[in-house]
Each structure stands twice: as structure tokens, then as C-alpha cells.
């Protein structure tokens, strides 16, 4: 997918474990696309998650397939296999360097996250360099307050603040954890994921714990 994107001018990367991708991810991406006039949102499923135990995560092949199925009918949504094809932890700094090099200097690069994710940014590899590569679009998420960014992040890393743009969205109480738990307990997940993803989960018998 990357080869035909050279002339686009506002690109956002949406990184995530996507285990599985759900309607919360898609609503955040679509709101960001509309509010920031993005030409493309590129979903990048993590290969080896930097801060989570890889043992408990669904194989990257399934997570990639579900991300493709969820985004396939959206003309501005794309999926990259950059992280899942690398046999090393998926550090965002490396992903962003790759995409920064791929596009010309006129292209604005964004990284879309939920508030929970950006609150941990001081633990990310080479975090000081991130604002030189992209701006962040930070979506509101239930149980996490953007005010906390002042005390937990900007206080120690003030250079980041001008590079963070807030995205107020209706708070969506969906998480991949909740979907996995529901499947484990044999509960319905209809309306939490796109139908194509639900069908894939059922067909591949994912998240059943057996």
C-alpha cells in the first residue's frame, strides 16, 4: 500500500495491538480524518508489542487480517504490515522514521492515540525525538483525563505540548480487553466490532481460551 501514497499531504498513523480492532478504534480514526482533513489513516498493527507480554497476544497474522477486514471498505483507511513483518519490538520511533522517510517534506505526519496511550509516552523508546517526526492526535477515552497530561507528561517533557492536538469524541466504552473477556465468557460481541471482524473471530474461533 505504501508505494502509491507519495503525493498525499496529511497522513496519520494509527498504531495499536488491535487484538481485536473494534468500533472505538474506527470511530477515533474517522473523527480524526474529518477534523484534521487527513488524506489517509494508516493502521499499523504492532508486531512484537514493546510494553505488553507477547505471549498473551493473538498471532499477528490474525490481528492484521482483522484490521484489513475492518478497514477495507473505507477509501481513506489503509493497513501497513511494516511492524508485523519485523522480528523485533515495534517501537513507534522506528515506525515513524520509516514513514517520515517515505513521504516528502511537505507531508504532515500525525500519530493517533487514545489518552491512555499518550499518558505513558515518557516510557517510549527515544521519546524525545518523537515531536521532530510527527504531531499527535489525542482522542478522549473513558477513565483517562487529558488534564493529567500536564502533571504526568508536559511537566517533564514540555516540548511535546505544542505537538499534541486534542480530539473530543463521544466517549466509547469499548476495549479489546472487554471483547476478549466477552468471548471467553461466551457472550455476544455484536455491535462492538464490524460484522466482517465478528465473522472472522467466530470462524477462526479466536479468544475462546481453548
Ligand X SMILES: O=C(O)c1ccc[n+]([C@@H]2O[C@H](COP(=O)([O-])O)[C@@H](O)[C@H]2O)c1
CB atoms within 10 A of CB 73: 9
One character per residue 139-178, x = contact with ligand ATP (rule: CB under 6 A) = x-x------------------------------x-xxxx-
131 binds, among ligand X, ligand ATP, none (CB under 5 to 8 A by kind): none
Whether a cis peptide bond, with omega within 30° of 0, leads into 20 is yes
- Report, in Å, the least distance between residue 173 CB and ligand X: 16
- The reply on whether position 92 binds ligand X by CB under 6 A is yes
The answer to whether 79 and 42 are in contact (CB under 8 A) is yes
Enter the DSSP assignment of 143. Answer: T
- The reply on whether position 197 binds ligand ATP by CB under 6 A is no
Interacting residues of 185 by C-beta distance below 8 A, sequence separation 6+: none
**Secondary structure class of 75 (helix, strand, coil):** coil
49 binds, among ligand ATP, ligand X, none (CB under 5 to 8 A by kind): ligand X
Q: Which of 115, 117, 119, 201 binds ligand X (CB under 6 A)?
A: 117
Closer by beta carbon to ligand ATP, 116 or else 148? 116
- The reply on whether position 47 binds ligand ATP by CB under 6 A is no
- Report, in Å, the least distance between residue 124 CB and ligand X: 3
Distance from C-alpha of 152 to C-alpha of 119, rounded to nearest angstrom: 7
- The reply on whether position 24 binds ligand X by CB under 6 A is no
- Report, in Å, the least distance between residue 121 CB and ligand ATP: 11
Q: Which of 42, 46, 164, 167 binds ligand X (CB under 6 A)?
A: 46
Residue owning grid cell 505471549: 55
From 1-9, 13-21, 30-38, 154-162, give the range in contact with ligand X by CB under 6 A: 13-21
The answer to whether 122 and 157 are in contact (CB under 8 A) is yes
Site for ligand ATP in 96-125 (CB under 6 A): 113-114, 116-117
Backbone angles phi, psi at 81, to 5 degrees: -95, 15
Distance from C-alpha of 173 to C-alpha of 179, rounded to nearest angstrom: 11
Closer by beta carbon to ligand X, 104 or else 115? 115
Distance from C-alpha of 198 to C-alpha of 191, rounded to nearest angstrom: 9
The answer to whether 122 and 159 are in contact (CB under 8 A) is no
Q: Which residues make up the interface to ligand X (CB under 6 A)? A: 15-17, 46, 49-52, 90-93, 117, 124-125
Amino acid at each position: 500500500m505504501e508505494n502509491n501514497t507519495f503525493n498525499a499531504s496529511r497522513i496519520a498513523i494509527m498504531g495499536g495491538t488491535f487484538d481485536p480492532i473494534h468500533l472505538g478504534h474506527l470511530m477515533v480514526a474517522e473523527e480524526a480524518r474529518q477534523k484534521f482533513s487527513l488524506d489517509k489513516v494508516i493502521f499499523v498493527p504492532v508486531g512484537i508489542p514493546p510494553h505488553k507480554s507477547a505471549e498473551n497476544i493473538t498471532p499477528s497474522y490474525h490481528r492484521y487480517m482483522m484490521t484489513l477486514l475492518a478497514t477495507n471498505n473505507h477509501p481513506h483507511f489503509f493497513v501497513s504490515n511494516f511492524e508485523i513483518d519485523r522480528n523485533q519490538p515495534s517501537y513507534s520511533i522506528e515506525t515513524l522514521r520509516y514513514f517520515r522517510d517515505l513521504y516528502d517534506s511537505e507531508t504532515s505526519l500525525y500519530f493517533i492515540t487514545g489518552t491512555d496511550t499518550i499518558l505513558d509516552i515518557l516510557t517510549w523508546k527515544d521519546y524525545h525525538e518523537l515531536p521532530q517526526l510527527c504531531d499527535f492526535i489525542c482522542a478522549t477515552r473513558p477513565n483517562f483525563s487529558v488534564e493529567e497530561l500536564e502533571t504526568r507528561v508536559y511537566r517533564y517533557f514540555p516540548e511535546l505540548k505544542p505537538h499534541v492536538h486534542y480530539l473530543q469524541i463521544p466517549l466509547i466504552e469499548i476495549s479489546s480487553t472487554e471483547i476478549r473477556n466477552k468471548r471467553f465468557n461466551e457472550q455476544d460481541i455484536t455491535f462492538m466490532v464490524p460484522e466482517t471482524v465478528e465473522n472472522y473471530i467466530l470462524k477462526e474461533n479466536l479468544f475462546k481460551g481453548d
